[in-house]
Structure 1
Amino acid sequence: MEIITSTFFSSQFLIAAIFTIFSLLLAVRTARSTKSTKQSDGATSATSATARKKSCNCTCSCNGPAAASAAEREMLEVGRHAATAAAAVVAERGSGASMMEQLVPEITTHALSYLDYPSLCRLSMTNSLMRKAANDDNAWKALYHKDFTLEQDSVIPVNGWKAYYAATRAVVNVNAEFFNIIRERSLPAMSRFWLNADYVKCIHASGELFSGYNSVIQSWQIAFNWEQGVDFQVQDVRARVLTDIAWVTMKTYIDIDTGPFNMTNVFEFHNGRWYMVHHHSSVMLVDGEVEQQVVHG
């Protein structure tokens, strides 16, 4: 009986001790939580006080830019323009568009038609957008008509108007070289200028026909030995270019009393360059001279 009683009291004491320890732990935890809450409330109050103090000490510009100084207004204006420019850049980049892309194609073509050949080529090397605009077929067609002739408006070049313009420009330059050779009276240059073939022909202003390469070069040797240097004034140049053949018609004026000439030059493309294969020069008759020729006839 004593053993049972002792065991019972020991159990009760153990339970009471455990409960007491648990209560103490709970009390300590509650105390710490209360302290933290007070510190937090104190910090919040201090922060609010500081904020109120700062709020009271700040300067308010409620009246807007009108109440600011001249320097501040200038800074505001600069900032406004910068923001506007930045917004425009962002909008342009976001949409992938540009001023050139937003123009009507006809307006773009008309604007580019005021450029010359070198300027249009340089423009095409700036960026991809300018290259697209500068390679537009209508722009090169307009440039061709401005630099050369309107007679070929209905022509549809196989490789586009840019390639056709480049080929025409090359032929016109070769044709101009022909007159430089005559001015310099250079027989070696004239020999290289003609295609070495038996079907080439040359008809001088005298009306005499020379056929074959050797005969043609001999005719120019005689002309250079007999004639003095002349200064041709070439006008009304018209060129027509096909794949490997081209012909140029023009009017030429010289500083002697023989009257103006009608000329036709024919070229063939061989081994990467143009060679002359036919030259025809004849005196251009005016109305009075035509009537005189009829009477004499």
Structure 2
Amino acid sequence: MSSTDFVTSTEAENAFYTAFSRGDLAAMRGIWLDASHTSCVHPMGDRLLGTPAIIKSWETILKNTGDVIIELSDIAIHQGRQTAIHTLIENIHVQDETEKVFQFVVTNVYEQTPAGWKMILHHASPMPRDLSQEKEPAPVVH
């Protein structure tokens, strides 16, 4: 096994957020499955298909991102034999003159391969408001 052979989808997810917070493109590359069906949607971004486009986007993001602290919350995992779906909230702390926290609603999907669990989808959308304080779910429109 290489250093990018993840035994569980949670191990792959932890490596993804470690690579993101450290700005480690090589580690990020090792987390993604190298396949045409991989997909990534960054907040307010277009859908990217295929590993080359995804890695290129992460190269730009990681190059232009300073020190960030990423905290995950509201994690829910549904796992089958070969696919795992993780839904969660990313709380990204960015430090400049003042600390800012950005929240994103995220779906990450992992596929079990002979080389371990690999990411095949990362979809992040900005959280429109603080949902953690709501007692009742928002109405469904889609």
Q: TM-score, normalised on structure 1? A: 0.38
How many residue pairs are counted as aligned between the two chains?
A: 119
Matches within 5 A, 1:187-266: 187-256=25-94, 257=100, 259-266=102-109
Aligned to 1:275: 118
Partners of 1:182 and 1:229 within 8 A in 2:
no
Q: Could you give the per-residue CA deviations for residues 197-234 of structure 1, whole angstroms, max 9, x where no partner exists? A: 01111111132321111000000000011111311110
> Please, which runs of 5 or more residues in structure 1 have no aligned partner?
1-168, 288-297
Question: Matched residues in 2 for 1:190 and 1:259: separation?
Answer: 21
Secondary structure of the corresponding residue to residue 33 of structure 2: coil
Aligned to 1:176: 14
Partners of 1:194 and 1:277 within 8 A in 2:
yes
Give the letter aligned to residue 9 of structure 2: V
Matches within 5 A, 1:89-128: none
Partners of 2:25 and 2:59 within 8 A in 1:
yes
Alpha-carbon RMSD across the aligned residues, in angstroms, is 1.7
Secondary structure of the corresponding residue to residue 235 of structure 1: strand
Question: Matched residues in 1 for 2:93 and 2:11: separation?
Answer: 23
Question: Matched residues in 1 for 2:36 and 2:109: separation?
Answer: 15
Q: More strand per residue: 1 or 2? A: 2
Secondary structure of the corresponding residue to residue 221 of structure 1: helix
Aligned to 2:139: none
Matches within 5 A, 1:24-173: 170-173=8-11
Higher relative contact order (CA 8 A, sep 6+): 2
Partners of 2:84 and 2:111 within 8 A in 1:
yes
> Please, which runs of 5 or more residues in structure 2 have no aligned partner?
1-6, 95-99, 131-142
Secondary structure of the corresponding residue to residue 8 of structure 2: helix
Indicate the larger mover: 246-255 or 200-209: 200-209
Q: More helix per residue: 1 or 2? A: 1
Larger radius of gyration: 1
Secondary structure of the corresponding residue to residue 195 of structure 1: coil
Identical counterparts, % of pairs: 26
Partners of 1:171 and 1:239 within 8 A in 2:
no
Question: Matched residues in 1 for 2:115 and 2:25: separation?
Answer: 22
Deviation at 1:272, TM superposition (A): 4.3
Question: Matched residues in 2 for 1:267 and 1:243: separation?
Answer: 11
Deviation at 1:173, TM superposition (A): 2.5
Deviation at 1:192, TM superposition (A): 1.2
